[in-house]
Copies of this chain bind each other. A is one copy, B any other.
Amino acid sequence: MAVELKGLTKRSENYSQWYNELVVKADLAEQSAVRGCMVIKPYGYAIWEKMQAQLDKMFKETGHVNAYFPLLIPKSYLSREAEHVEGFAKECAVVTHYRLKNAPDGSGVTVDPAARLEEELIIRPTSETIIWSTYKNWINSYRDLPILCNQWANVMRWEMRTRLFLRTAEFLWQEGHTAHATREEAEAEARQMLRVYAEFAENYMAVPVVKGVKSANERFAGALDTYTIEGLMQDGKALQCGTSHFLGQNFAKAFNVQFVDKNNKLDYVWATSWGVSTRLMGALIMTHSDDNGLVLPPALAPIQVVIVPIYKNDEQLAKINEKVDGIVANFKAMGISVKYDNADNKRPGFKFADYELKGVPVRLVMGARDLENNTLEVMRRDTLEKQTVSFDGIEEYVKNLLDEIQANIYQKALNYRLENTRKVDTYEEFKEEIEKGGFILAHWDGTTETEERIKEETKATIRCLPYDADEESLTPGVDMVTGKPSARRVLFARAY
């Protein structure tokens, strides 16, 4: 697992290459031998675990419980909900057999043709169909509602072009699937979960997001409404960070899930689903990192503080060890994850570059002069600024610094987004501006036709109709392309 520190491409040279290299060099993930499937390495997985733990806490605080549903879905289930199958069913991994046998020529194993499944099974691309076929047996009356289940799972979509974390054939995610007695309750649930996602993105990932509703064309297959949070990456492209769907009664009707309401009347159940995935790792990396490597928000950094000694001889090291042991214990007691790296087989310069690459928020260095002066050198990863501070009270200093870094990288990302969100009123101007990247607020006539034309001609898509919009944006205008009436400005961008 030797780290190759040299030669990280600069963002300005080739942003896409910078990202691909960084993911691998920072030991986050790598391609596997299976096309489009990644290996998430321990350092990358440690970040994902922190994300999971926080999200899971927030789901439970909003009344949800976890459950687990089968990986495989009968092929016929996918076509039960007509719109769903249109949007999803095509690029899936299909299980057709359940046995191998020794190859007659002794060359290894071969598929046993006698072990063919009567009905093929699909590796779940998402679980609405298998879950609603299960909920059918759980729901009889309004007393059985709501059902508020979440599942942490792997899913698979056979993508043709893949990129680590951003688009992989297999990925990890959570998918919430809820069942409700009324339309209002289901809509409120879908919106609540979007708020949870936005809070998580902003307060933990330090990624500012625009909350809004998707256009009909960009909705999840089978949904009546899709709510989204959209981030803006440093190259000016948008990244959809999470979605929450109000599914109406579509899946209940497809799987015939009815309940007896309070008035003893039969009705179909109302549904939502919502998910975020390991794609969030891509958003995290691309929002904050720089040409030296990762920049991680303290709230999700596996190592928040690293301490490196610089010494000329064993006697000096022993003295530094002694001083540092005390603060390591103090940091741990404060819930701050700290690593003291006094390994003697790597030079300090190598360690510095490595922890920079890995995005450790705070680095403390103690050398001979620091021993004399009772000081430490503090380096913050976000700005790379160094400062010499007193050893006494370093714990409190670092604690505050971690908070400051968390706030600073959020603010920096927010400033970037604000600077790169523009209003545009003509299609000519739009075509020019979209080349510069960023979000564009423009008027749109509400038709899929116009939306598709813009996408084809400019590669820009409608990211959402933002919830938070100024008065002018909510004032009716005219579509920049067709001149037809427009109810409000919507948010365009090129997107991942």
| Partner-B contacts on A (CB < 8 A) | 1-2, 30, 32-34, 37-42, 45-46, 48-49, 65-79, 85, 89-101, 108-109, 111, 120-123, 130, 133-134, 137-140, 143-144, 147, 149, 153-154, 156, 158, 170, 172, 345
Q: Report which of B69, B73, B111 forms a contact with A94, defined as CB distance below 8 A.
A: B111
Q: A1-B144, A94-B100 are in contact. Are A42 and B70 (CB under 8 A)?
A: no
For A121, the chain B residues whose CB sits under 8 A away are 34, 93
With A32-B70, A65-B46, A68-B45 known as contacts, the answer to whether A98 contacts B109 (CB < 8 A) is no
Which B residues touch A70, using CB under 8 A? 32-34, 37-39, 170
The answer to whether A33 touches B158, judged by C-beta atoms less than 8 angstroms apart, is no
A92 to B117, CA, bound (A): 12
- 21 A-B residue pairs with Cβ-Cβ distance under 8 Å, sorted by A, are A30-B134, A33-B134, A34-B73, A38-B70, A39-B70, A40-B68, A41-B67, A45-B65, A68-B172, A71-B170, A79-B109, A85-B108, A89-B100, A90-B100, A91-B99, A93-B121, A94-B99, A96-B96, A96-B97, A96-B111, A143-B345
Q: Which residues of B contact A153 (CB under 8 A)?
A: 154
Chain B residues whose CB sits within 8 angstroms of the CB of A72 once the complex forms: 34, 37, 93, 170
| Chain B residues with CB below 8 A from A95, complex form | 93-96, 123
Write the chain B residue with the least CB distance to A43: B65
Q: Are B32 and A130 in contact (CB under 8 A)?
A: yes
Not counting A34-B130, A39-B70, A91-B99, a sample of 17 additional A-B residue pairs whose C-beta atoms are within 8 angstroms of each other reads A1-B144, A1-B147, A30-B134, A33-B134, A34-B70, A34-B74, A37-B71, A41-B67, A46-B66, A70-B170, A71-B170, A72-B170, A75-B100, A95-B96, A95-B123, A96-B97, A111-B120
Least CB distance from A270 to B in Å reads 17
Determine whether the beta carbon of A91 is less than 8 Å from that of B98: yes
With both chains docked as a complex, state the minimum distance between the C-beta of A158 and any C-beta of chain B, in angstroms: 4
Selected contact of A33 from candidates B93, B97, B130, CB within 8 Å:
B130
Question: Which 10 residue pairs spanning A and B have beta carbons closest together?
Answer: A79-B108, A37-B70, A42-B65, A40-B68, A94-B97, A98-B158, A96-B96, A93-B95, A32-B70, A34-B70
Q: Are B100 and A78 touching (Cβ within 8 A)?
A: yes
Of A39, A85, A101, which is in contact with the most chain B CB atoms at under 10 Å from its CB?
Answer: A39
Is the Cβ of A33 less than 8 Å from the Cβ of B74?
yes
**B residues less than 8 Å from A96 (CB atoms):** 94-97, 111
User: How many of these chains are in the complex?
Assistant: 2
Distance in angstroms from A291 CB to nearest chain B CB is: 26
Distance from A165 Cβ to chain B, minimum over Cβ atoms (Å): 12
| Cross-chain contact B108 with A98 (CB below 8 angstroms) | no
Considering residues A85, A94, A154, which has the most beta carbons from chain B within 10 angstroms of its beta carbon?
A: A94
A69 to chain B, nearest CB (A): 6
CA distance A133 to B91 in the complex (A): 27
How far is it, in angstroms, between the C-alpha of A100 and the C-alpha of B78 when the chains are bound?
A: 10
Are A32 and B71 interface neighbours, CB within 8 A? no
Using CB atoms, name the residue of chain B closest to A170: B71
A98 to B95, CA, bound (A): 9
Q: Which of B45, B108, B133 sits near A66, CB closer than 8 Å?
A: B45
Q: In the complex the two chains form, what is the Cα distance from A52 to B79 in whole Å?
A: 36
Can you name the residue of chain B whose Cβ is closest to the Cβ of A75? B109
Q: Which residues of B contact A66 (CB under 8 A)?
A: 42, 45-46, 49
Cα distance A405–B244 in the bound complex, in angstroms: 43
Name the CB-closest residue of B to A65.
B42
A73 shortest CB reach to chain B, Å? 7
Q: A45-B65, A45-B67, A68-B45 are in contact. Are A99 and B90 (CB under 8 A)?
A: yes
**Nearest B residue to A69, CB-CB:** B39
Complex Cα–Cα for A71 and B124 (A) = 12
Q: A32 vs B78: C-alpha distance in the bound complex, in angstroms?
A: 16
A140 to chain B, nearest CB (A): 7
- Give the complex CA separation of A37 and B133 in angstroms: 14
Residues on B with beta carbons closer than 8 Å to the beta carbon of A89: 100, 109
Within 8 Å CB of A120, what residues of B?
Answer: 111
